[in-house]
Amino acid sequence: MNKKQRNTLINIITIFIVTIVAVVGMINAKDWVNRAEAMRAMEQLGKKVIEERKERGSLPPESYVDTIKERLEGYVRLGKLQYRARWIDLDSTSEEILAYTPKNYRSSFLGKGYIVLRLDGSVQWIKSKEFEPLLRSYQSDMEIKLLQMESK
Protein backbone atom coordinates (compact mmCIF):
# COMPACT_ATOMS: atom_id res chain seq x y z
CA MET A 1 0.00 0.00 0.00
CA ASN A 2 1.50 3.32 -1.00
CA LYS A 3 1.34 6.55 0.99
CA LYS A 4 -1.60 7.99 -0.98
CA GLN A 5 -3.71 4.85 -0.45
CA ARG A 6 -2.86 4.80 3.27
CA ASN A 7 -3.89 8.47 3.66
CA THR A 8 -7.14 7.82 1.80
CA LEU A 9 -7.91 4.83 4.05
CA ILE A 10 -7.14 6.87 7.18
CA ASN A 11 -9.44 9.67 5.97
CA ILE A 12 -12.28 7.21 5.28
CA ILE A 13 -11.92 5.60 8.73
CA THR A 14 -11.80 9.04 10.39
CA ILE A 15 -14.97 10.16 8.60
CA PHE A 16 -16.69 6.89 9.54
CA ILE A 17 -15.79 7.27 13.24
CA VAL A 18 -16.82 10.94 13.34
CA THR A 19 -20.15 10.06 11.69
CA ILE A 20 -20.87 7.31 14.24
CA VAL A 21 -20.05 9.64 17.15
CA ALA A 22 -22.27 12.36 15.66
CA VAL A 23 -25.24 10.00 15.18
CA VAL A 24 -24.96 8.62 18.73
CA GLY A 25 -24.67 12.17 20.05
CA MET A 26 -27.77 13.29 18.16
CA ILE A 27 -29.81 10.36 19.47
CA ASN A 28 -28.77 11.15 23.04
CA ALA A 29 -29.46 14.86 22.50
CA LYS A 30 -32.97 14.02 21.26
CA ASP A 31 -33.63 12.03 24.44
CA TRP A 32 -32.34 14.91 26.58
CA VAL A 33 -34.67 17.32 24.76
CA ASN A 34 -37.65 14.97 25.16
CA ARG A 35 -36.94 14.63 28.88
CA ALA A 36 -36.54 18.41 29.27
CA GLU A 37 -39.88 19.02 27.50
CA ALA A 38 -41.63 16.45 29.69
CA MET A 39 -40.15 18.00 32.83
CA ARG A 40 -41.23 21.47 31.70
CA ALA A 41 -44.78 20.20 31.11
CA MET A 42 -44.77 18.59 34.57
CA GLU A 43 -43.60 21.89 36.11
CA GLN A 44 -46.46 23.72 34.38
CA LEU A 45 -48.89 21.10 35.67
CA GLY A 46 -47.48 21.51 39.18
CA LYS A 47 -48.01 25.28 39.07
CA LYS A 48 -51.61 24.90 37.93
CA VAL A 49 -52.38 22.25 40.57
CA ILE A 50 -50.80 24.34 43.34
CA GLU A 51 -52.74 27.44 42.21
CA GLU A 52 -55.95 25.42 42.28
CA ARG A 53 -55.05 24.05 45.72
CA LYS A 54 -54.46 27.55 47.09
CA GLU A 55 -57.72 28.79 45.57
CA ARG A 56 -59.92 25.88 46.69
CA GLY A 57 -58.08 24.61 49.75
CA SER A 58 -57.61 21.07 48.44
CA LEU A 59 -55.96 19.25 45.58
CA PRO A 60 -58.01 19.23 42.40
CA PRO A 61 -59.46 15.91 41.19
CA GLU A 62 -57.93 13.87 38.39
CA SER A 63 -60.58 15.14 35.99
CA TYR A 64 -59.17 18.67 36.41
CA VAL A 65 -55.68 17.43 35.55
CA ASP A 66 -57.03 15.57 32.52
CA THR A 67 -58.63 18.76 31.18
CA ILE A 68 -55.61 21.03 31.66
CA LYS A 69 -52.78 18.71 30.69
CA GLU A 70 -53.56 18.95 26.97
CA ARG A 71 -53.03 22.72 27.18
CA LEU A 72 -49.54 22.36 28.62
CA GLU A 73 -46.60 23.00 26.35
CA GLY A 74 -44.92 19.65 25.69
CA TYR A 75 -47.75 17.60 27.27
CA VAL A 76 -47.37 14.87 24.65
CA ARG A 77 -43.99 14.05 26.18
CA LEU A 78 -45.63 13.25 29.53
CA GLY A 79 -47.10 9.98 28.33
CA LYS A 80 -49.04 7.94 30.88
CA LEU A 81 -49.32 10.36 33.79
CA GLN A 82 -50.23 8.94 37.20
CA TYR A 83 -51.90 11.56 39.41
CA ARG A 84 -52.08 10.58 43.10
CA ALA A 85 -54.24 13.33 44.69
CA ARG A 86 -56.85 10.88 45.98
CA TRP A 87 -54.16 9.09 48.01
CA ILE A 88 -52.76 12.22 49.64
CA ASP A 89 -54.15 13.30 52.99
CA LEU A 90 -53.72 16.39 55.16
CA ASP A 91 -50.78 14.83 57.02
CA SER A 92 -48.73 14.37 53.84
CA THR A 93 -45.39 16.12 53.67
CA SER A 94 -44.23 18.40 50.87
CA GLU A 95 -42.03 15.54 49.60
CA GLU A 96 -45.07 13.36 48.85
CA ILE A 97 -45.25 12.25 45.21
CA LEU A 98 -48.24 14.00 43.63
CA ALA A 99 -47.78 12.82 40.04
CA TYR A 100 -45.31 10.79 38.03
CA THR A 101 -44.79 9.46 34.56
CA PRO A 102 -42.51 6.61 33.50
CA LYS A 103 -39.96 7.31 30.80
CA ASN A 104 -37.86 4.77 28.93
CA TYR A 105 -35.15 6.44 26.91
CA ARG A 106 -32.90 4.47 24.58
CA SER A 107 -30.10 6.80 25.55
CA SER A 108 -27.13 5.27 27.29
CA PHE A 109 -27.06 8.33 29.54
CA LEU A 110 -30.70 8.46 30.67
CA GLY A 111 -32.11 4.93 30.61
CA LYS A 112 -35.32 4.10 32.47
CA GLY A 113 -36.71 6.48 35.02
CA TYR A 114 -39.60 8.66 36.14
CA ILE A 115 -40.40 12.33 36.00
CA VAL A 116 -41.81 13.11 39.42
CA LEU A 117 -43.94 16.02 40.66
CA ARG A 118 -43.88 16.46 44.42
CA LEU A 119 -46.56 18.06 46.56
CA ASP A 120 -44.43 21.20 46.96
CA GLY A 121 -44.36 21.65 43.15
CA SER A 122 -40.78 20.52 42.59
CA VAL A 123 -40.07 18.28 39.60
CA GLN A 124 -37.21 15.85 39.25
CA TRP A 125 -35.91 12.90 37.25
CA ILE A 126 -35.46 9.73 39.30
CA LYS A 127 -33.99 6.50 37.97
CA SER A 128 -36.32 3.48 38.11
CA LYS A 129 -34.35 1.54 40.70
CA GLU A 130 -34.49 4.52 43.09
CA PHE A 131 -38.06 5.59 42.29
CA GLU A 132 -39.92 2.31 42.71
CA PRO A 133 -39.03 1.75 46.40
CA LEU A 134 -39.62 5.46 47.09
CA LEU A 135 -43.11 5.31 45.58
CA ARG A 136 -43.93 2.13 47.52
CA SER A 137 -43.04 3.93 50.74
CA TYR A 138 -45.84 6.46 50.01
CA GLN A 139 -48.43 4.05 48.65
CA SER A 140 -51.19 2.40 50.64
CA ASP A 141 -52.11 -1.24 50.08
CA MET A 142 -55.35 -0.09 48.43
CA GLU A 143 -53.49 2.09 45.92
CA ILE A 144 -51.13 -0.75 45.01
CA LYS A 145 -54.07 -3.15 44.51
CA LEU A 146 -55.92 -0.63 42.35
CA LEU A 147 -52.87 -0.02 40.14
CA GLN A 148 -52.36 -3.78 39.75
CA MET A 149 -55.99 -4.19 38.69
CA GLU A 150 -55.68 -1.33 36.17
CA SER A 151 -52.55 -2.81 34.62
CA LYS A 152 -54.23 -6.17 33.91
pLDDT digits (tens, 9 = 90+) for 52-92: 999 998 899 999 999 998 888 888 888 889 999 999 987 88
CA angle in degrees (0–180, nearest 5) for 89-91-92: 70
Residue 118: which pLDDT band, with cuts at 50, 70 and 90? very high
Residue 64 lies in domain? 3-151
Task: Output the pLDDT for position 144.
Answer: 87
Count of the separate structural domains present in the chain: 1
* pLDDT at site 92: 86
| Overall pTM surpassing 0.85 (yes/no) | no
pLDDT of residue 117: 96
